[in-house]
A and B are shown apart, each in its own frame.
Chain A
C-alpha cells in the first residue's frame, strides 16, 4: 500500500495521508519533553539543595547521582526504566500484598527517564546560578527576617533566573531530541510515528525527512521563544 502514491498524498491529511499522525506525534514529543523538563526542574532543584546540605552523606549522594546520570547514555536509562519498571512495580505491589499492576504507561516511564537525566544537568545549572548570589546577601536577607520563600522570591530568583535561562534553553533542546529515544518503548511520538509510516508505506526516506522537518520546527521555534525570554530577562535584570 502507498508504494506508488505521490509524496504529497502520503504526507497529506487525506485517508491515505500520514499528515495528521505526524502532527499528533510532534505534539506528543512536545508533551514528553515538557514533562521531562518539569520532572528535571523539580528533581534538579532538590539535587542542588541536597548538594548544599549540611548532611555530608546527602550532599555526596547528590553529587554521585549527577556524575552517574551525566556519564551514562540516555538510551541506557530509557531502556532500564522500560525493562525494569514492570518488575519494580510488581515488587512494590507485592510489598502491599497486591497483584502485579503490569507495565506502567509508556509516556510515564519515557518522560521519567528523560527527566532523570535532565535533572542531573539542571542541577549543575542551578548550582552555577546560585554561586552568582553572594552569601552576604543571603545573610542580610536572613538578618532582615525574611523566610526561605521570601528570600528565594526577592533575592535569589531575580538574580539567578536570567542567568540560568540560556543554559536551561540548551537543556530543553536536548530534552526535545532525547524524547526520540522514548520511541523504543512504543510510544507513538514523532520518531515512532515516522518509523511506523516508513514501514507501512515502504518510503523511509520521505517520512524521515518529514520527521526531521517537524523536529526542526520544534527546536527552532523553542530557540526563538527562549531568545525572546532572554531579552525580557535582561530587561528585568536591569543594566549589567
Chain B
C-alpha cells in the first residue's frame, strides 16, 4: 500500500483516465462532473456530502493516491466563463498524487457563499492541516473536525480573508496604516504563545517544561521563521512551527498583474531559485496559450535552471555545514556561487532575480562567448566539490551530528507531502526530470542520486551529488546547444513579435494591444510542476479569458517540509533541530509566498 514496495516509477501518463473509471464504478457517473482542462490530470467535481468518501476511496485504491500534493481554494464569484461546471461561489480543490501510477487527480468541491463548510481531511492526509488553515485564512472556508483551525499566514488579529475577490489588493485601497502603542501591545500579546491552545501541558509528572521561542529572528532559522519548542532540559518534547512572517501575497498579486508582468514576482518565491521559478509559470502559461517552444529555448532554459540548482545547493551546503558548527566552508561555497553568478550575469544581465524567461521563449539569445564562460565553470566546480566532501562531509564530528538525526522513511515522507532531496534521501527514485520530463529533460543523460536512511546526512550527500549531475546536464547543453530562434513564433508570446508591425496597420494594432494590455489567454486551466531546487514547485493557473490570471496557485515545496518538523523532531535535542533545519533546505519566501 505504500511506496516502500515500489521498485520503479511507471512512465508518466497525462490525463490518466483509469482513476475516473474506478471512481465511476464505485460512485456512479452521475455523482461526478468531469471538467476538461489543460492541467494534465482528470479534474473531477464531487458534492460536499461525497467528498470524504471519494477521498478515502482514492487513498485506499489499489495503487493509492498517497500524497495530498496540494489543497487550496478559488473564489469563483467573478468568473464569467465557466460553462458546464457546477454552480459555485467558492471552490476547494484537492490535488492528489500517486507514485505507483505516476499520475495525478484533482477533486473539486463547490461551495455556496452562505455555507462555507467542509469536512477536514486531516485524518486521511496529515499534511492537510496547514493547507486547510491557509484556506480558512485566505477564504474564510471552515473545516469542521480540524484540530486547530487558526490563521496561518496573516496575524491572528487580521480582519478579512485576503484572497477573496472583494478584498482589496493594493495598499492605496486601504486607509493609511498607523501603529500606535495600544495596537502595538495588542499585536504583541496576540503573538504570545499559549501552550494550552495547542493542547500542550506546562508541566509533566516530575518536571516543568520550558517553552523556548526560537525565532522569528534566530541565526539558524534561515529567515523569519518561528518555532516554539517544548523542552525538557534540552530534549524537545513537542514543537509548533509558525510561519507567515514572510507572506507577501504573491498569489493575490498574480491576480493584478498581466500574464507577462508577473514573471519577475515568480523569481522571488524561492529567492535562491532565480529563473528556476520562472520555468513552471511560463510552462503553464504556454499550455494555456498552446505554445510549443523551439528546441533552443528548452536547452537554454534547462541550462540556466541547472545553474540555479547548483547555486541554491551550494548555498545549502555552506549553511548546512555552518549550522553544525563549522564556520569555514560557507565562505568557499560562496566563492563558487560567485563564479556561477558570473556566468548567469553575463547571460541574463542579472544575478539573483533575472526574470529572464518569457512566455514562449527567453528574453535574449545567448551572448557571444557564453560557451567559454560556462566551460570555465564546469571545469572549476567538480574539484571544489571533491574538496568539500573530503574536508567537511567526511568529518567524523559532522557525521556524528547528522547521521541518524531527523530520519524519516518513504511512507512518512509521502504522507507529509515531502518532495525533492528529502524524498529521494529515503530511497524513493522520484525526480520529476525523469519521472515526468518537461522542458526537454528527456534529451539529457543524467542520474538521480538516491540514499536510504532518510536522515540529515543523506539529504546533504544527495544534494552534493545532484550538483555533479547538474554539471553533466550543463555540459551536455554546452556540447549540443541547438541552433534556432530563442522565441516561439506565436502571437501570444511576450513581448510579441514585432518584425512585421511597420508593414500592416492590423499587425501594429495587435502588437500595441499585446504590449500595453498584455496577451489574452484563452479561458481554461493549466498546471505545471517542476523539480525545483528544494522539491516540487508548481503553478496552477486559472484563466477567465482575460489579460490577467483569475487565480494563480503556487504550490511550493518548503511549505509541507516545515509542516513535517514536529513529526520528525520529537524526542531529539535542540542541536539536532538545528541540523535538521539546515538539512531541509528551505527559504521562508518559498514557504509563505
A is bound by B: no
Residues of A within 8 A of B (CB): none
